[in-house]
Amino acid sequence: MAAATQEQRKLTPLRDSRWQRLQLVALTLLLGACAAANPTPTEQPPPNIVLILADDQGFADVGVYGGALPTPNIDAIAGAGVRFSDGYVSGPACVASRCGLLTGRYQNRFHCKPLQDEPLPPSEPTLAERLQARGYSTALVGKWHLGSTPGLRPLERGFDEFFGFLRGIHLYYPQGQERDAPYYDFTLEHGGELYRGHEPVTETEYLTDAFAREAVDFIERHTDRPFFLYLSFNAVHVPLQAPPEHLEQFRYIEQPARRALAAMNSAMDEAVGQVTQSLRDNGLEENTLLIYLSDNGGSPMSNASLNDPLRGAKSDLYEGGIRIPFLMQWKGVIPAGSVYDEPVISLDIASTVLAASGGYTSLKPRLDGHNLLPYLRGEENGAPHDLLFWDYKGQSALRRGDWKLLLPAADAQPQLYNLRLDIGEASDLSSTHPDLTVEMLQALDDYATDIRGYRRVLQHRQDDN
């Protein structure tokens, strides 16, 4: 019996070892099968990026922001993703805003020149160039407005394909069909040609529809590799030209300019719908990061847009000039139907896109935006930004938490607003909160020093005293 016990002691570990190996093999096969069925995020292809930019669209002209005009396709992006209640652009007008958007850096850092033919220096990498270097196919459809001279055009700034116009304004109908339009001569003087690549082309469709057609065509030709589509509408910028069927849709609006604006807004919404439908039809919606925003606030005096309940308009630093419709969708990543109330800015788009496509923290030059995805998924608490800064043509502003400090002109007295309590900036609290006003003036001056390289806010006050 003792011998049998000895033998048993020798065999038991052997049986255990074989059983453990069998278990290990089975577990390995099981895990491999699970991994094949559920690949890890690193095994997923990089997301496609679709960035849609409206032009001069009012805060109150998008349905999901409480507007009276129907925009079902734009609203659907919010329904499938997130609406930013406090979404900003980095500049209150076309060029300044686009410089910030496509670099992810405050445009004041590199002295963006809004009224020049060379507003974006070649030394500043664009989002398209960064994504192109990562193997993305890239296309710009629509308005460029960041350089019309050789070396600064879209194909030379990271885009593989380009269909659109180079400068800031264009007729919506083919040139010659509406020769009496007030912007006809102005358009021709300011880069009125449409281009496909480097070659001028003639377009026969209403321009918003043509841009939608080209965007859908690009998507359908790039279903097998990651792409970046920058769809930059000129709608709803003047001139006010709308298709007859859309004008008929809004015949109940008596004011002609407002009716035209509504019709143009609706045509653009339909164009957005064509793009989102193409993503669905081609099985791309699940792995596409889709972003929609306006380049600045509406311009009621020129295109009859509305920014209610915000004060101000395009070209100024009241909320109506810089707070814009801002939506983001990525199914399965961004919670559907969510609202994010912390302040964010268009500079965050480059950081978010680059983080999603492979990382951004080590990029040079350093970006000013933040990756918003951890905040939208609840992985990060608090606000992405401690401060937001604006400086445009003698105006300066700073937002910190609920508070906003505004200098509406270089020699103006500071204004202080609590935006949570006063989104319309009706009550200037600088006289009742003098210490906070001075504190925020100092913060504004420090920020200006960091970004612009010199003090400008407090210096002129000291000189005046």
Report, as residue numbers or ranges, the catalytic residues: 94, 145
**Which string of b and e fits 160-171 if b means at least 16 CB within 10 Å?**
bbbbbbbbbbbb
**Contacting residues for 253 by C-beta, under 8 A, at least 6 apart:** 259, 262
What is the C-alpha radius of gyration for the chain, rounded to an integer number of angstroms? 26
Pick the closest to residue 173 from 69, 251, 71, 244 (CA basis).
Answer: 244
Closest alpha carbon to 397 in 294, 306, 323, 298: 323
Give Cα 339 to chain centroid, integer Å: 16
Q: Which residues pair with 51 in a beta bridge?
A: 230, 291
- Widest distance between CA atoms in the chain: 114
How many helical (H) and strand (E) elements, i.e. helices and strands, does the chain have? 14, 16
Tokens standing for residue 396: 């300066």
Backbone angles phi, psi at 385, to 5 degrees: -125, 135
Strands 227-232 and 48-54 come out as parallel
Cβ–Cβ under 8 Å, residues 251 and 279: no
The DSSP bridge partners found for residue 139 are 161, 229
The structure tokens 């407002």 sit at 258
The amino acid that residue 81 corresponds to is: G
Residue with tokens 């400008």: 456
User: Rounded to the nearest 10 degrees, how much is the dihedral formed by the CA atoms of 348, 349, 354, 356?
Assistant: 100
Separation between Cα atoms, residue 374 and residue 439, nearest integer Å: 31
DSSP line for 89-106: -SSSSHHHHHHHHHHSS-
Asked if residues 306 and 261 have their Cβ atoms less than 8 Å apart, the reply is no
The two tokens of residue 16 are 């255990």
